[in-house]
Structure formats: C-alpha cells, structure tokens
Chain A
Amino acid sequence: MSVSLDDRLAALRIVRTAGGDNIPAALAIEADAVLARAGRRRELSPGSTVVGLFGATGSGKSSLVNALVGAEVARTHVRRPTTSAVLAVTWDPEGAVDLLDWLEVRDRVVRDEPLDPRTRQLVLLDLPDFDSIEAGNRAIAERLAAQVDALVWVVDPQKYADDVLHAQFITPHARHSEVTLIVLNQVDLLSPADVPKVVGSLKQIVDRDGIPKATVIAASARTGVGLAAVRKAIGDLAAARSARDARLAADVAAVADRLDSPGKARRIEPKARADLVEAVGVAAGADVVARAVAGSYRKRAAQATGWPLVSWVARLRADPLTRLGLGPRRAGTDPAVHRTSLPPPNAAARAQVSIAVREFADAAAAGLTETWRSTLRSQAETALGTLPGELDLAIARAPLPARGSWWWVVFAVLQWLVVLGGLVGAGWLLAAAVLPRLGMPAPEIPQVEGWAVPTLLIVGAVVAGILLGLLGAALGGLTAASRRRRARQRVLAEIEKVVAEDVVAPLATVVQRAREFAEALRIAGS
C-alpha cells in the first residue's frame, strides 16, 4: 500500500487514455465506472464508512443486522427470499443523507445507541440475497457490492461452500481482502465441536478464492455468540476511516489485474530507422536525382570547359536536372508549392516504400503484444497515405549542389586563348599567303626546328584545345562524382526529416503510449 489512492486513480486514468482502443470495451467501461464511482464517493461523507452485509438467501443477514443493532429493524421471515429492498441503519442522521441517496437506499433507520463507541459515522446495509430465483435481488446486491466501503459476507453452515458465493462474489472481490469480513452465521445449528472444523473448511475455500488470511468470525444471531467480535470488527473498519480509500484502491487494482500488459516496449533501433530512410530514399528517387545532379554538372562543365568549336553541341542536350524540374534556375520558387517534375512514383517504388514502412512498424512493435502491434501497423498504413506526396516536396526542398565551379572560368579563358592562338596562326598563314599578292610585304614566318610557327600555333591550338577539353572532362567527372554523393546525402537528409515526422514520430508515439500504459498499469495494479 505504498501507492496512494490519488496516484492509483491517476494511473488508472493514464491507463485509460494511453490504452485507447487497445482496452477491451467491457473493461474500458468498467475502468470508467471505477473512476466515476471513486470520484463520486470521495465527494460524499468522507468520514462515513458504509458496511454492507451480503449473503445467500436464508443465511440470516437480516437477523444478524437486528442482533448487531439490538432491535428489530429488519424484517425476518421463513419464506424465501425475504429481503428485497436494502435497509440502511445509521447513527448519524445528517451526515449520511447524500451518501444514502447515491447508494439509492430509501429505507433508512436512525439509531441512537452506537454500534461501536468509537464512531457514529457508520452505515450498515442489510442487502437482499444473490442466489435466489429473484433476479432483481441479485442485481441490487451486485450494484451495492461495487459501492459499499466494506464487504461483510454472511454465510451459514448449509451454504458456506456454495459455488455462487465463492465464484461469483468472493473471488471477484479477492483484491478487497482488506475491507472484507466473513461471518459464519447460525453456528447454533452446529454442535460446538463442529464449529472449528467448519470455520477451518470455510477458511480453506476462501483461501482458494484468493484471500489467504481472511477474518472468519463464527457467530449466531439467535444465541448472540460471536456478535461482540462482529461488532468490534465492523467498528474497527469504521473507526479507522480508511475503508473507503482501501476499497477504491482495491477497485482500481482489480481492474488493472484484468487488463493485459502491453508487453515490453523497446527503443526503436537506430538501424531500423536508417534502413527505413535508405529504402524510402531509394524508392523516392534519391539516386535518380543524384545521377541527374552529376549529369547536369558534367554537361555544364563540358559546355564551359570543352573545346569551344564542338562544346556547343552539348548545349543541344537537355539538362537532366531541369528535366526533373530541379534545375539551377528554379531559385526563388517556393518548394512547398513547387512540385518537381520527378516522375510520379511507379508501382515498384510505392511497393518498396510500403514494404519498408511495414517492416519498420514490425520492428517498432518488437516486444509488444499483438493488439499493440496491430495499432502500430494501422498507424503505418495511415502514414503510407500521405508519405509519397511529402517525399516529392522533400526532394524539391533539398539544397542540391548545382552551382558551377571556379575552374570552369580558367578553362574557358584558356580555351579561348588557345582558340585565339590558333586564329593568330591561321591569320598569320593567311596573311603570308594573301598579302604578297596584294603587293604588300609578306609577314615573316619564323621557323622553329624546321616547323613554321603559325602552323605550330594552329596544331598546338587544336591539340591543346582537345587536351584541355579532356582534362576538363576528367576534372568534371571527378567533381560530378563527389557532387553526386553530396546530392544523395542531402536528398536523404530531407527525406529523413519527412520520414521522421510522418512515420517514425507517430509510431514512436504509439510505442511511448504502450510504455506509459505498462507503467501506469503497474502502479494501478501494485
């Protein structure tokens, strides 16, 4: 009893909210009823203790009440069943009124001489039976068995081993042992030697019911044997003023006992998460975009650094990034509204995403019971509804490395210088050929190692242009490869954000709920 009633009730409330649909409907209703009852009971006559006398027909509940009170307050009869309405005996006329209204007890008797000198705040209820052919009686007994603060089971030598009493009333209230009292009435019908035997046998059966150390008092309403002990036991419960809270705590614990544990929730493995991002990324086209980034870079590099005489051909080819709607010119457009022209995910991509998400849901459900796994799976299905659109936006948002490189300019300048050199050579040769005919002095054509310099210039320009082009292509290829890796990383980083928000977070919430549920259940049932 280290857990306070407040904590226990709070735990049961958490169990209800965290459990959600995973709690069977009947138990959910029961848990709500326990919470409602606890709330209501705690508002009413906090000092009063309601003690109900429950028993089979003919066990002498009414006789026992009369004998305890010392007056004929309850009707007794040989016809069965006798009592069909609840009778309340109180010693505190004002305090218990709203409490009795809540208990729906109309027949009330106020007595003067207290049952126990320690307290007047006691309500004694004489209840109808629960085993006769009058089904209405049983309904009343069942309702009040859930409402009273302390339960007194009145049995007699004939009926003390009846299955109805033990299986349907004492066993379900096994958690309430602290506020349970068992009275073996009518012991005058037994020979004195038999009384301890019967008490022993009764204790044994109650032990099997789940109450190992039950207080069993042998009494007789007719002869007065044991009445003092019954009065004292009831007085103890009322004087301690703890029966109410103990009862409510037992209610919470009894409901908690019947709820299934959600299993042991584990931390979601980082590897499962990484696998999910990778699989979703690939399906969403991270590699396609990365390749396009590389292709686009290579193309523009070829345009900028290629041999100017042929590099214009590259311009005729479409830029792969622009083709995907991710080209360098999309700056300024809002990625949230700007859809890429990435091809809509094909059936295979959708399938890959859905396989990956389902596997992730099952990985997240490791250690949990089937009902919680189902919750995770349906949560995953919900996520699959919105994920593809989000993925497209994620790719649009990813900052792709699309800018050119500084060395392109160097190469471009060099290429044009080379072209210029070639043109100079060509002009030189041309001048050497044409000017003499026009009667002008021909420019001198110097020779180096037997080669004419202009020719060398032309040949050199061609060779250098091609070599520069090849070098540029090689450099471009290397850079493109690194751009490709970077683009892939950036796309995956964006996709990871989406996956974290749309898939991982909702599933982790469910796992967290299961964890809270388990913890609250442990507190409620402790």
Chain B
Amino acid sequence: MTDTRAPAIVSLERLRASLADAGLDLPLDGAAEHRENAAAAVRQIDDYIRPRLADLDAPLLAVVGGSTGSGKSTIVNALVGTPLTRVGVIRPTTRQPILVHAPVDAGWFASDRILPGLARVRGALSSPGTPASVAGDSPAASRIHELMLLAHEAVPASLAIIDAPDIDSVAEDNRALAAQLLAAADLWVFVTTANRYADAVPWKLLDGAAARSITVGVVLNRVPPGAADEVLPDLTGMLKHRNLADAPIFVIEEQPLDDLGMLPAAAVAAPSAWLRAIAGDRAERTRIAARTLGGAIEDLDRRVAAIAEARQAQLDWIAGVEAMAADSYQAAVAAVDEATRDGALLRGEVLARWQDFVGTSDLFRRVESWFSRTRDSVTAWIVGRPSPVIDVETQIESGLHAVIVDEGGRAAAVTWAGLQRTAAGRTVAEQNPALATQSDGFTDEAAAMIRDWQGALLQLVRDNAGNKRVKARVLSAGLNVMTVALMIVVFASTGGLTGGELLIAGGSAVLGQKLLETVFGEDAVRRLAAEARRDLQERVQAVFDIERARATAALDALRFGSAPESLRRESRALLDDVRAAAGS
C-alpha cells in the first residue's frame, strides 16, 4: 500500500514546496484572497492530505463546527457525556480547540502527524460534578494555537472528535482556526440553530464541503418546541439544493440544561449513534477517508489552478511594468538621438560661436581673425574667459548634458506616473520613493559620460592622424579644434534644417566638414563621424539602461516564486499519482 502511494507523496511534497513559495505579494485584485488561499492549501496539506495519504486506516477525525452560539461545545459535552469544554453565554466561547479520542488511539494524536502547526497539551478531565460553564481551561486568547488532547472512554475507537471554534464571530483567530480544523477533518458534524440555519456564512463553508465530497452530518440545535415541522423541510430543501442531500439532519429542541450545564444524553442519541456506526465499520471508515482525501486533492487542484492564474497575473503585471519602464527609457534614448541629429542641438548660439570661430566671411577673415584672436586672448587673459574653441565645446557639452538630464527626468516621471495608475504600482512606488525622479547621481553620470565620449573623440582623432603629414596638419589646427569640428559634423549630420537656418547651420557645419576633410580626407571624415555617433548612442543607451535598471531592481523581489506552469504540472502529477494508487 505504501509503495503505490510513494510517488503521490513525492508529488505532494513538490506541490507543497511550490505553494509555500507562491509569490503573490503584489496587491493586485484578489491577490490577498489567493495568498490566503495558498497558505490554506499548504496548511491543509500539512494538516490533512499528507497524513491521510500516508495512512488511510488512521482514526477518522470528526470536527464539530458551526456558528458562534450554536451550541457546539454543549453537543460535544453531550456526546461524551461529561463536561469537557467550557460553554457559556459570552460570545465567542471556545478558543482552545479540544480533541477528544478513545484511550486506545492516544498514539495517533500525540505526535504531530496531523495538525503539526498546533502544539499539543494533554488535558485532564475536570473533576466529576464540575458545571460545563467552568469546565476545561479558561478561554485565553494566547492558547488558540494549542490543541488540547483528551482521552475518554465514551469516544468510540478509531474516531476522534474535535471541538472547533466558531466560524463567524468577530474573533478573527477563531474563524481562521475553525477553517483550518474543518479543512483537516474527515467528517463534519455541522451545528446550526433554528435562528441561524439560513445564515450566509455557514452555507459558504458547506458549499466547500460539498465540493470536496466531505461526509457531513447536520445538527439543528435550539429548535423552539413545535418549530421543527416548519424548519426541517426548509433545511432539507436547502441541503438538497446544495448537493448535500445525503447529509443526515439531527434535530435537538431548545431545552433547559441540567445543573451541570449539560444536555440530556437522549438529546444527542441520534448523532452519537451515527458516529458510532461509522467508527465501528472499518470498510465504511476507509471509504469515508478515501472519499474525503480524493475530494480534498481534487479541490486542491482547483485551488492550485486559481493560484497559478493569480501567480501568472502577478508575473504579467511585473512584465507589463517592466515593458512600460523600458518603453519610457527607450523613448528617452530616441529623444536624445533626435536632439543630436540635424543640428537640433546646434541651432542659435552654438553655431553662431562656431561661425565666429571658423566662418567669418573671407573679406575680413585675415584681419578679423588676427584681430579677434588677439582680442580674445587679451580678454581671456583679463577676464579669464576661455578661448572660443573651448567655448563652443562647452556649449555643446552643456547642451547635450541638459538634453540627457531632461530626458532622464522625463522618463523617470513617466515611469512613476505609470506606477501610480494601479494600486499594486502605488505600493511598489511607496517602497521605492527614489524612482520618482532620476537617480541622485544621474547628472554626474551624464557629465562623466559626455567627458568620456569627448575623450574617445580626441583619441579617435589622434588615432586617425596616422602619417606625419596629417599629424602636422592636426597639430597646426589644434587637436581641440579638430574634436569640436567632429562634434559639429556629428550633430549636424542628416538634413532637416529649414529656412535661413540652413544657410548658417549648413554653412558652418560644412565649414567644419571642410576643415576635417582637408586634414583627413573625405572618406575618413564620414567614417569618423559615423563612429563617433555610434559611440555616443551606445554610451547614451548605457546611461539610460542603468537608470531603467532601478525599476527592474525594484520589481526583482516580487519576481521570486513558483512558476505558474510548474504549479499546474505538479498538481496534475499529484492527481495522476493518487488515481494510479487508488486504481492499483
């Protein structure tokens, strides 16, 4: 038996590991629910599926569950025939769950085979004659994660009973624990009352039980005298309507409790007999256990499908945000490229200065150039202003720098605005406030990048001044002048200038080109310009890639988790293995 189950157990462990790492941290629509769902699935595997898969013959676990105030504890006490657990009028009552079992079954429950998340405490019976209102432990909130074990002769062998907390009170811990215990049980004794049987909350749980083919017995407690005839058909109809037609209904009339706060044994005779009959029949026990296990695994598969979908939604969202960030930074790269084409960066000032430097009309060229050079060096000497070539160079530098910084800021703002559009994005934004603007060092990065590029240009010019003659020409015009001329040619390349501008811009750029061509030759200039441009593009791309990587890094933590397809695959494998084991 164990051999045929071995593959199923391996598959189960795999699925559990994947579920435990589902990666549903983004607050997308319904993600909280799925996160809870995944946690519940892991708990159910630990609490129920794993131990039941390992041993179908272990004692059955019957959970007595229901609404607050429906009298669950009173019924457990009546079933055992002695006050075990505290009952009372203060809602919610039961906090610490109590598992009562036959003394011979003690071994099955002392270990953490089932419900490993709950610590075990061995409880002692209250001394005979203790009223139920003070029986057992006082309900302390801190003890909710302890499972009290009680051995009692009145419990049939091979069937343990758990008194669960309520499913619907204001105490959130109670509700969570009740759900956990209901998920861990083979058998439900569902307690409701005449006042409550139409409540929406318990029916939601019963729908779940029907979906998992759990064996359910319904106790209709606190029925006012004479009301049973009215209520019973109504309840039967509702059960049938919800695919729970098989569930037996046990009616208990509203009746005074005895001095110890106990219902008379006769009141619970019917449910007691039902439980005993199941406990006494080994084949029936195995059938119930197998049915509940099968139902739980099928239900698990449905849940995994939903969780996988939720996980996919998370990955899709992350991919969407990344694409959005990539788009805005790519747009920035394109914008910088646009701004460094067809003279957009050179219009006005820069060209005017370049003009001043190389483009003065021939008539005055010699005089002027002598005069202005002298004047410039005198001014430079007095005022400390740089020479005109350096001036043009600085103009281009600061212009290019402004364009890159502006586009970096714009891309960051667009990405940020994109994040603000969704709740999940807002959380990411909140955790990464730095994404609102370009990174602190971006201005310096851009400046350094431009300096590096200029350095590379200088090197390029120097490397291309191969033979002595060219080298001499380069030196006579000045290395700086060559570099600036190259920049002008790069930034002026491809037309698109209009009107009078063309004359000036084109003219000066042509002058720059002429200057270079006389030194290097026509082909070399074209090649140099293309190389310089490509170099710039690569550097710009690299700078923006670093900026964009901040957004990617912010999303990295959210990326960790199981792949949706592996969740689905593992769940399918588990189903197949369990069916194969059942078939053999």
- Interface residues of A, Cβ cutoff 8 Å to B: 56-59, 77-81, 131-135, 156-164, 166-167, 190, 194, 197-198, 201, 205, 208, 285, 288, 341-352, 354-355, 358, 362, 370-371, 373-374, 377-378
Contacts and interface: CB of A to CB of B under 8 A. Distances in A.
Interface in B64-105: 67-70, 89-92
A157 B69 contact: yes
Given A157-B69, A166-B170, A346 B346 contact: yes
Contacts of A349: 348, 399
A133 B90 contact: no
A158 to B, nearest CB: 4
A161 B92 contact: yes
B194 A159 contact: no
B230 interface: yes
B199 to A, nearest CB: 5
13 contacts: A80-B231, A132-B199, A159-B69, A159-B196, A163-B169, A198-B91, A344-B347, A346-B347, A346-B348, A346-B349, A346-B350, A374-B416, A374-B417
Interface in B205-259: 222, 224, 227, 230-231, 234, 238
Q: Which 3 interchain pairs have the tightest Cβ spacing?
A: A348-B399, A58-B195, A343-B348
Given A157-B91, A161-B169, 6 more contacts: A77-B230, A164-B200, A167-B170, A351-B406, A351-B407, A352-B402
Contacts of A373: 436
Contact of B200 (A131, A198, A208): A131
A343 B413 CA distance: 29
Interface residues of B, number: 61
Contact of A347 (B91, B197, B222, B345): B345
Contact of B203 (A133, A159, A163): A133
B344 A347 contact: yes
A131 B201 contact: yes
B410 A354 contact: yes
B199 A79 contact: no
Contacts of B224: 78
Contacts of A135: 200
B398 interface: yes
B130 interface: no
Nearest to A346: B347
A163 B198 contact: no
Given A348-B345, A349-B348, A371-B420, A158 B70 contact: yes
A114 to B, nearest CB: 32
A201 B91 contact: yes
Contacts of B410: 354, 358
A382 B201 CA distance: 52
Nearest to A157: B89
A162 B200 CA distance: 12
B152 interface: no
A131 B168 CA distance: 11
B69 A205 contact: no
Nearest to A353: B406
Given A157-B89, A201-B90, A377 B417 contact: yes
A158 B195 contact: yes
A370 B403 CA distance: 26
A144 to B, nearest CB: 19
Nearest to A341: B500
Contacts of B349: 285, 288, 343, 346
Select the residue from B199, B203, B344 with max chain A CB neighbours within 10 A. B199
Given A81-B198, A156-B195, A161-B169, A347 B403 contact: yes
B14 interface: no
Contacts of B339: 347-348, 351
A135 B345 CA distance: 67
Contact of A354 (B70, B89, B406, B416): B406
Nearest to B500: A341
Given A161-B91, A205-B170, A288-B349, A347 B399 contact: yes
B291 interface: no
Most chain B CB neighbours (cut-off 10 Å) among A58, A134, A197, A373: A58
Most buried by B among A135, A346, A374: A346
Interface string B398-433: 111011011101100100110010000010010000
Contact of A161 (B68, B194, B417): B68
Nearest to B401: A348
A378 B340 CA distance: 26
Nearest to A56: B199
Nearest to B426: A370
B95 to A, nearest CB: 13
A343 B170 contact: no
Contacts of B417: 374, 377-378
B89 A198 contact: yes
A457 B406 CA distance: 65
Nearest to B345: A347
Contacts of B500: 341
Nearest to A209: B170
B193 interface: yes
B143 interface: no
Nearest to A288: B349
B175 interface: yes
B126 interface: no
Given A198-B89, A351-B339, A374-B417, A58 B348 contact: no
Contacts of A156: 195
Contacts of B203: 133
Contacts of A163: 168-170, 172, 175, 201
Contact of A78 (B90, B172, B194, B338): B194
A377 to B, nearest CB: 6
B409 A358 contact: yes
Interface string B116-133: 000000000000000000
B439 interface: no
Contact of B402 (A58, A80, A348): A348
Nearest to B349: A288
B167 to A, nearest CB: 9
Contacts of A161: 68-69, 91-92, 169-171
A79 B230 contact: yes
Given A57-B199, A198-B89, A348-B399, A343 B347 contact: yes
Most B CB contacts (10 A, CB to CB) among A58, A81, A159, A374 go to A159
B430 to A, nearest CB: 8
A57 B90 contact: no
Contact of B429 (A79, A362, A370): A370
A497 to B, nearest CB: 23
Nearest to B395: A348
A348 B172 CA distance: 61
B330 interface: no
B403 A351 contact: yes
Nearest to B344: A347
Contacts of B172: 163
Interface in B106-145: none
Interface in B150-176: 168-172, 175
A355 B405 contact: yes
B399 A343 contact: no
A140 B342 CA distance: 69
Interface in B332-367: 338-340, 344-350
Nearest to B71: A158
A346 B345 contact: yes
B397 to A, nearest CB: 10
A377 B170 CA distance: 45
B169 A374 contact: no
B354 to A, nearest CB: 13
Given A352-B402, A374-B417, A197 B348 contact: no
Contacts of A285: 348-349
Contacts of B316: none
B437 interface: yes
A57 B198 contact: yes
Contacts of B344: 346-347
Nearest to A57: B198
Contacts of B227: 78
